[in-house]
Amino acid sequence: MEYYLVKWKGWPDSTNTWEPLQNLKCPLLLQQFSNDKHNYLSQVKKGKAITLKENHRALKPAVAEYIVKKAKQRIALQRWQDELNRRKTHKGMIFVENTVDLEGPPSDFYYINEYKPAPGISLVNEATFGCSCRDCFFEKCCPAEAGVLLAYNKNQQIKIPPGTPIYECNSRCQCGPDCPNRIVQKGTQYSLCIFRTSNGCGWGVKTLVKIKRMSFVMEYVGEVITSEEAERRGQLYDNKGITYLFDLDYESDEFTVDAARYGNVSHFVLEMYLQILLTTAQPKREPELCANVEL
């Protein structure tokens, strides 16, 4: 008869018990147990697959240890996913997935929705004027007042070239939340998944729905620091071969965004992107951030 060692939810390990299969009413946990066991035994080590004879009276310690670690990782990732969705203020949901290794949530990353100014930096930038349009798509709206084109078409897709600044309507405008010139400020509208890549590029991001080309996906958010502090951090990041620094301004290099510790989902897009550059041995170059960036 098969017995399973059961860890009871809310109880310490000292209360674990061996239970026969017929006592277990948890098909999902049993399926996960079976999958984790199969995944471990399917791993290739030194060119040979690890196998386990069925006549063993118990799982080998290495197999049992892997299954326990995988279960703990699954719980940790679920808690992190729940925390991300509690913190985010946008419409789209955030999912977390790791089917590659035993890596858990990043230990030194904090999710934020807006720029986080470093001590001594003020980001108060109140709008000085607003439009009085009835239909911002056809009238002289905020972009025209700033001397640029409206960034979006009727399908809410970006129609201006990458690197061009975007001017959206603001709190002084008379238009409502459905204004066609309010896209970035609404945040991510799509459900996204932070996943562990299988090619050694760390964490990445994938979409769970089809997204039309040139549609806004997310804003690059992080800690706002001075250019002097960015130079200091940049030297440290260069030693690690990776950086999350992007210039914030168009007309001056007064501030820089650093999403290494504080950021949103875009942190993991950049992590995967930079790891790919390192993996393919591309020459290093300092990335340049504009309000409209296409990767």
Q: Which residue has the tokens 């690890």?
A: 50
Say whether 290 counts as a known binding-site residue: no
26 is in an annotated binding site: no
Q: Is 193 annotated as a binding residue?
A: no
Please, what is the angle between helix 27-42 and helix 61-87, to 10°? 120
Q: How far apart are the first and last CA of the chain?
A: 56
169 is in an annotated binding site: yes
Entry field: residues in the chain: 295
- Enter the tokens of residue 192: 């996204």
Whether the CB-CB separation of 241 and 275 falls below 8 Å is answered with no
- Give the count of alpha carbons within 13 A of 203, CB side only: 21
Question: Do 152 and 183 touch, CB atoms closer than 8 A?
Answer: yes
Q: Retrieve residue 201's tokens.
A: 């590029």
Could you write out the three-class secondary structure of 147-192?
CCCCCECCCCEECCCCCCCCCCCCCCCCCCCCCCCCCHHHCCCCCE
Whether 96 and 79 have beta carbons less than 8 Å apart is answered as no
136 is in an annotated binding site: yes
Closest CA to 113 of 186, 43, 166, 62: 186
Binding-site entries = 131, 133, 136, 141-142, 169, 173, 175, 179
Binding-site entries for Zn(2+) = 131, 133, 136, 141-142, 169, 173, 175, 179
